[in-house]
Amino acid sequence: MKLVVTTDGSDRSLCVLPHAAAFAEAAGLPLVVMRVLDPWHDAGDEFALKLDEAIAKVSDRWRTELAPKIEAAGATAEIHIGQRKRGEDMYRSILREATDLDAGMLAMDTRGAGGAVRHALFGSVAMSVVSHTEMPVMTSGACIAVAEKPAPYHLLITADGSEGANAVFTEVGPLLAGGGVKVTLATIYEPKFGDAGDEPEMRKAHARLEGLRGRLPADIDVDIVVRRIEALGGVDTAIMEVAHDVGANAIAIATHGHSARYHLLAGSTALGIVKRSELPVILARSGA
């Protein structure tokens, strides 16, 4: 499997690259930087050439432009120039090319300057990619530099207790088989009327996470955190606080949970984390 970063060539769309490179190195995944070429748009200026010659010329130019940007990000990556088919939606082109590359995870900035990721946060292509792929997608809503943190790479995986939210284990778990990533499993406890009380409810939540530990590779280092939500606090805020406290490099979360507040399409916890987090967020799509 590979980690494929998709870009439109702009500096903004490459903000996710250093984060993707750090994860790929820790997980032992080959890194690919991919840009998808629309022959009828991107090669149109080369009107004096045949289409295949124009495509080759633009592809060579894009590779030349991407190479120093990858080097500047401190990454080592293969460069792949894909092609959009006539009439094909850009998100379908991205997913088709990524599948052909044997991608196990995609990485994309959610606010590019043009092309595939030019729209507002999850305005179109990024949302379509997340909604239609079965592989996890690393996103960076803010162009935040990679923080210097002690090894190993530390991933916070959060789940709300629903089976739909547990999709994150199915999708992200296989990427961690190399054993180079430390994991903290976290859940946020929200007191509700009729609960047995903080202590027994938090024990139950801890036990649920212990059960989910078995969905991850056996040889990785795993901690478990259950945190009670603060009065008037948000789940997204609590998750980001846990990530900060444990020194996480990234947050992984499913895009759907057991209530409307957890649904990415409803603009809730996962989306709130993407919008506000200073860490990259790995989104795992759930069919729930």
In a domain, 146, yes or no: no
In a domain, 231, yes or no: yes
**pLDDT computed for residue 76 by the predictor:** 94
> 18 and 119 in contact (C-beta within 8 Å)?
no
Phi, psi for residue 27 in degrees, rounded to 5: -85, -5
The residue out of 110, 140, 170 marking a domain boundary is 140
Instruction: Mark whether 75 and 113 lie in a shared domain.
Output: yes
**pLDDT computed for residue 59 by the predictor:** 94
286: buried, middle or exposed (CB in 10 Å: 19+, 13-18, 0-12)?
buried
**pLDDT computed for residue 230 by the predictor:** 73
Neighbours of 60 (CB within 10 A): 11
The residue out of 112, 140, 168 marking a domain boundary is 140
Could you say which residues of the chain have pLDDT below 50?
A: 112-121, 123, 257-267, 288
Instruction: Mark whether 133 and 159 lie in a shared domain.
Output: no
The residue out of 140, 163, 193 marking a domain boundary is 140
Instruction: Mark whether 189 and 233 lie in a shared domain.
Output: yes
Render pLDDT for 174-188 as a digit per residue (tens, 0 to 9).
999 988 999 999 998
Residue with tokens 């009439």: 87
Instruction: Mark whether 215 and 120 lie in a shared domain.
Output: no
**pLDDT computed for residue 147 by the predictor:** 73
In a domain, 148, yes or no: no
DSSP letter for each residue of 123-182: SSHHHHHHHH-SS-EEEESS-PPPP--PSSEEEEEE--SSTTTTHHHHHHGGGGTTS-EE
Tokens of 11: 């500096």
CATH of the domain at 59: 3.40.50.620
**pLDDT computed for residue 126 by the predictor:** 76
Global pTM value:
0.87
Instruction: Mark whether 59 and 107 lie in a shared domain.
Output: yes
**pLDDT computed for residue 49 by the predictor:** 66
In a domain, 84, yes or no: yes
Instruction: Mark whether 32 and 124 lie in a shared domain.
Output: yes
Instruction: Mark whether 234 and 177 lie in a shared domain.
Output: yes
Tokens of 78: 């293969």
Instruction: Mark whether 110 and 19 lie in a shared domain.
Output: yes
In a domain, 23, yes or no: yes
- Count of the separate structural domains present in the chain: 2
Phi, psi for residue 68 in degrees, rounded to 5: -70, -25
**pLDDT computed for residue 200 by the predictor:** 87
Q: Do β-strands 281-284 and 137-140 pair in parallel, antiparallel, or remain unpaired?
A: antiparallel
In a domain, 147, yes or no: no
| Domain boundaries, position 83 | 2-140
Instruction: Mark whether 10 and 129 lie in a shared domain.
Output: yes
Strands (E), 229-270: 250-254
Using alpha carbons, select from 285, 23, 1 the residue that is nearest to residue 166: 285
What's the number of CA atoms in the CB half-sphere (13 Å) around residue 76? 4
